[in-house]
Structure 1
Amino acid sequence: MSNETKRDVFEKIKSELISNLANTIYQNGGLMPLEDATKVGENYATRYAAALPDDLPVIPEAVGDAIKIHKDYAHSLLDIFGALSIYGVSRTEPSLDYNAWIVHHADTFARAWVLGAWYVEESGEIVKLEAED
């Protein structure tokens, strides 16, 4: 499981390209930029494709824990929003803090749910759920 973002992979490829070009000049006294760039690009294409987006949603840890639990029980996003819709109808506030956060940040919650990855608000840690079989 990798927690690399697209930006992390980009910075790594940029660094390696610069290093390879410097080594090529030193070793051969000349440049072969197309060949060197192709080698580096091929090495990173798969990593870049698998990397997480840079703009992951930021959610509280308790909300992330709720996502994990609901996914473990095979609940759907519709199940979650359906259960919370009563608060919109009754114009009351959920008693659990994480439910209140979900009600007030539905778009961010939905992105975290669909991506299966997010930043933890309190620590900045990236959480990535394992792919479902």
Structure 2
Amino acid sequence: MGSEGVNDMQDVNALVTLQISLARIEETLKPLAALVQTVAEVKDVSKEALTCAQQANQKLEAMEPVVNKAQDTADDALRKAQSALDKLNSQDENRKWISRSFYGPLISSLAAVLSAAILAYIGLSGR
């Protein structure tokens, strides 16, 4: 009965060691169980984020023609404004030349009349 008792004791020690190991494994697995729920939540949030991103992309794609049209309109308005500015600058230059063309002969004529009057006065005074 002596060797049978030692064998029973060894079996009990093996069972205790096995129970301790199982307890340690259970303690190690507890955080993993919490991680499973967290991973599931992250997966759900990721799916929602992907859906939102896809919707935003669709909205942007839908807006692209409108943005392109607005860009074309803005470019056309800029070209027209530049053309109008060029015409105004040209008209301003034309006004300067017309002024010069009008005032130049007028001043020359007044100078000639004034010179003639002075010469006539000198000619009359000298007699």
Q: What TM-score, normalized by structure 1, do the two folds share?
A: 0.20
Name which one, 1 or 2, has greater alpha-carbon Rg: 2
User: Which one has a larger percent helix, Structure 1 or Structure 2?
Assistant: 2
